Amino acid sequence: MFRKVVIGVSGGVDSAVSAYLLKKRGFEVCGAFMKNWDLIDESGYCSGEQDWEDAQRLCRWLAIPLEQINFVKEYWHEVFGSFLKDYDAGITPNPDILCNRHIKFNCFYHHARNQMNADAIATGHYAQTNFGPFLEHYSENERVRLFMAPDPIKDQTFFLSQITADTLRRTMFPIGALTKPQVKRLASEVGLEVFARKKESMGICFVGKRSFQQFIAEYIDTKPGPFVDIDSGQEVGQHAGIHHWTVGQKCKIGGCLQPYYVFRKHRDTNVIEVVSGHDHPLLFTDMVYAENPVWINAPHGLDHGAVVRCLFRFQHTKPLVGCSIFQSPLGRNDKVSGESRSKLFIKLDQPLRAITPGQYAVFYRNEECFGSARIVQPGPSTIYSTTS
Please write the tens of the pLDDT for every residue from 102-114. Answer: 999 999 999 999 9
Residue 212: pLDDT band with limits 50, 70, 90? confident
Query: Does residue 128 contact residue 151 with C-beta atoms inside 8 Å?
Result: no
Indicate the SS3 state at residue 313: strand
Least confident among 15-29, 79-93, 127-141, 346-360:
79-93
Q: What is the mean pLDDT of residues 266-289?
A: 96
Mean pLDDT is highest, among 113-122, 235-244, 256-265, 375-384, for 113-122
Average pLDDT of the chain, as a whole number: 90
Is the per-residue pLDDT at 336 higher than 70? no
Instruction: Tell me: pLDDT of 45 over 50.
Output: no
What pLDDT does residue 219 have? 85
With a cut of 80, say whether residue 227 has pLDDT above it: yes
> Of 29, 4, 124, 9, which Cα lies nearest the Cα of 69?
9
More confident residue, 3 or 47: 3
Burial 333-344 (b: 16+ CB within 10 A, else e): beeeebbbebbb
Which DSSP category does 100 fall into? Answer: I
| Residue of 30, 107, 205, 310 with catalytic role | 205
Would you say residue 168 has pLDDT above 80?
A: yes
If you average pLDDT over residues 284-288, what whole number do you get?
97
Asked about 205 being catalytic, the answer comes back as yes
Model pTM above 0.85: yes
Q: What is the DSSP string of 220-255?
A: S----EEEEETTT--EEEEES-GGG--TTPBP---S
Task: Please determine, for residue 380, whether its predicted confidence score (pLDDT) is greater than 60.
Answer: yes
At residue 41 the predicted structure's pLDDT band, cuts being 50, 70 and 90, is: very low
pLDDT, greater one: 105 or 214: 105
pLDDT at 37: 81
The answer to whether residue 68 scores a pLDDT higher than 90 is yes
pLDDT tier at 221, thresholds 50, 70, 90: confident
pLDDT above 90 covers a percentage of the chain that reads 77
Is position 369 annotated as part of the catalytic site? no
User: What is the predicted pLDDT for the residue at 287?
Assistant: 97
Q: What is the pLDDT of residue 209?
A: 60
- Annotated catalytic residue within 46, 99, 107, 369: 99
Asked whether 19 and 57 are in contact (CB, 8 A), the reply is no
Q: Is the pLDDT of residue 315 over 80?
A: yes
